[in-house]
């Protein structure tokens, strides 16, 4: 048993000292995976157990100003990282078919490694997403999907940073930061209050964009299975499998939130004897008495209310409504 443990420790040290990128070995958090693993494990425990327990008997915090500021900073941070990925490789000659890692000390290669390190740090700043949900007692948003997504990423990026800080798989980070620019901008506007909700009608498409991101990541990574490329095969598979995992998780989320919910609402509407179509009723089509619209008195009696398009109130007609109104 002692011999096995000794052999494992020797293999670990060889991996860390001789197989990793020597340029980054002395960078902050890069000498060992243990701090990253410990932080990720504490994050998962805090998110699902400790945080909700601490807030159990407390009133939710109102963090409007903090949320707006935080999401603005995250939007700008993601924009800068995205720009750096472009300027250190993807807009400067990187190949989308096969891009080896440049382990040299030239300025462009070091700029790419530095960008990868900041991307790694950004995975920790994203933990504040979860903290703010917990402080506001919105624990329904701290789903298994949310915790897995945030909890896995720091260690995955640490692995890439330690052994391959550049090259083919940084396409993953390029796409991810682009999506986060849009995502944190959405969160910032949402935090501004109800009067700004009309500007983020495209919320549903944000989840679709995230799923497209994972399809592109999978396609980009797994193409190396069919071509020769001087890029670590293990990392290609590792990143590609992340795309598969997250695509599955986000697909389930999308189906539950939008597809299944829409079906249930339609079925409920049909069971209540309505057509299931929510139609806006405009003021011009409503009889007036003494110059005042009778919208509320007539249609509230004969229709079931609904919300048609985010702007106009509407009503769902039941089977007998047409005859009654006529």
Sign of the alpha-carbon dihedral angle for 244, 141, 267, 280: negative
- In terms of Cα–Cα distance, which of 83, 101, 94, 132 is closest to 234? 101
Residue reference for tokens 């964009």:
209
Cβ(89)–Cβ(112) below 8 Å: yes
Nearest of 153, 115, 90 to residue 27 by alpha carbon: 115
Q: How far is the C-alpha of 114 from the C-alpha of 89, rounded, in Å?
A: 12
Distances (CA, A) of 139 to 18, 131, 147, 253, 271: 44, 10, 11, 16, 32
Write down the catalytic residue from 141, 149, 150, 168.
Answer: 149
Q: CA 178, CA 122: separation in Å to the nearest integer? A: 13
Which structure tokens are listed for 179?
């999506």
Rounded distance between C-alpha atoms, residue 76 and residue 66, angstroms: 15
How many Cα atoms sit within 13 Å of 75 on the Cβ side? Answer: 14
| Residue 251, token pair as written in the block | 């697909």
Q: Which positions ≥6 away from 63 have C-beta within 8 Å? A: 132, 135, 136
Under DSSP, the state recorded for 67 is: H
CB-CB neighbours of 215 under 10 Å: 12
* Catalytic residue list contains 149: yes
Q: What amino acid positions are annotated as catalytic residues? A: 149
């Amino acid at each position: 048993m002692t011999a096995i443990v000794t052999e494992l420790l020797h293999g670990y040290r060889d991996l860390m000292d001789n197989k990793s990128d020597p340029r980054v070995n002395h960078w902050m958090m890069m000498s060992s995976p243990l701090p990253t693993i410990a932080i990720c494990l504490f994050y998962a425990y805090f998110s699902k157990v400790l945080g909700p327990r601490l807030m159990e008997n407390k009133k939710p915090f109102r963090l409007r100003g903090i949320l707006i500021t935080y999401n603005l900073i995250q939007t700008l941070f993601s924009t800068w990282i995205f720009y750096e990925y472009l300027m250190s490789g993807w807009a400067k000659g990187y190949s989308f078919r096969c891009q080896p890692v440049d382990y040299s000390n030239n300025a462009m290669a070091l700029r790419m490694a530095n960008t990868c390190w900041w991307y790694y740090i950004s995975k920790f700043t994203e933990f504040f997403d979860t903290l703010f949900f917990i402080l506001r007692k919105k624990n329904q948003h701290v789903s298994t999907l949310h915790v897995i997504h945030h909890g896995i990423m720091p260690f995955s990026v640490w692995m890439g940073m330690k052994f391959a800080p550049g090259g083919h798989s940084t396409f993953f980070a390029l796409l991810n930061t682009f999506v986060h620019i849009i995502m944190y901008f959405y969160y910032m506007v949402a935090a501004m209050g109800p009067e700004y909700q009309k500007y983020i009608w495209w919320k549903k498409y944000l989840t679709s964009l995230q799923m497209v991101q994972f399809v592109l990541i999978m396609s980009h990574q797994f193409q190396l299975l069919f071509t020769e490329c001087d890029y670590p095969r293990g990392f290609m598979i590792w990143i590609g499998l992340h795309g598969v995992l997250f695509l599955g998780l986000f697909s389930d989320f999308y189906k539950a939130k939008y597809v299944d919910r829409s079906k249930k609402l339609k079925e409920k509407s049909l069971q209540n004897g309505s057509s299931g179509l929510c139609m806006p009723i405009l003021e011009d089509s409503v009889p007036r008495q003494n110059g005042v619209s009778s919208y509320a008195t007539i249609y509230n009696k004969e229709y079931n209310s609904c919300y048609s398009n985010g702007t106009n109130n509407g009503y769902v007609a039941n089977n007998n409504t047409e005859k009654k109104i006529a």
